Amino acid sequence: MSEKLNADQSHVCIVTGANSGIGKAVAQLLASRGAQTVLVDVVIDDATITSAELSAPGQASMAIAVDVSNEQQVVDMIEKVRAEIGIPSMLCHAAAIQQFGRTENSALEDWRRLIDINLTGTYIINKAVLPSLLETTGSLVNVASLAGNIGLPYVAAYSASKGGVIALTKALAKEYSDRDLRINAIAPGAVDTPMYATAPPDDINPKALGVIPRSAREASSPQDIASLIAYLLCDAPLGMTGSVVSIDGASS
């Protein structure tokens, strides 16, 4: 990838889940290459600090608290970005939650909350940003998961939500293939983020755990994932749309 984004285009990139982990690493990488960045998360204490560090003369950055499952908050955020920074040309959607546990012990409200944030939230922000991306001939990357590709034990709701993200990404890519948009997803295995530190259930089933390839349990760094996302957002050929790129140590 080129060290700088195209000098003749002022890229405005919205990054969700940017308070930590993959989202934070993506914002830092894109800002280092000239993009103006919008760091979005439901909690933005660290994102506010990161945004201040990324701001430079002629290169804006802002942090905005948004619940991606709240459509009005998402719409208001995009309107604010358009008014104060410019028309978004890129979206990296990394916001998600995860919950470990045996399915028979899970509550329906937990399923609904996870689907609402991980899958409905993806639909909401993709839908809301599409008019801007159509104006700028932009690109977006949704962060799915190995769990969405193969299904993983103790995270049934998470696996279902990320499988939905994959299907949604492919559907949107086909729908907008005549509009020169690039709409892709990535499917990471384990990544060294706060989510990865979530403890599995105490009564873990060794047989179930054994279906997860060891490579999927060896975490990539957020910077590794950010490099792949930046390629898809900035440098991938126009024909690369509707792709789901795995970075999981050959686990899928």
The answer to whether 2 and 235 are in contact (CB under 8 A) is yes
- What is the radius of gyration, based on Cα positions, of the chain? 17
Name the active-site residue from 154, 158, 176, 231: 158
* 136: Cα separation from own chain's centroid: 20
Query: CA-to-CA distance for 233 and 245, rounded, in angstroms?
Result: 13
**Which residues have C-beta within 8 Å of that of residue 137, sequence separation ≥ 6?**
89, 179, 180, 181
Alpha helices in 33-182 (DSSP H): 45-54, 71-84, 108-115, 121-136, 146-150, 156-175
Structure tokens at 183: 């709409």
Which amino acid is present at 117? I
**Which residues have C-beta within 8 Å of that of residue 84, sequence separation ≥ 6?**
60, 62
41-57 exposure pattern, b = at least 16 Cβ within 10 A, e = fewer: bbebeebbebbeebeee
Active site residue 158: yes
Annotated catalytic sites, by residue?
A: 158
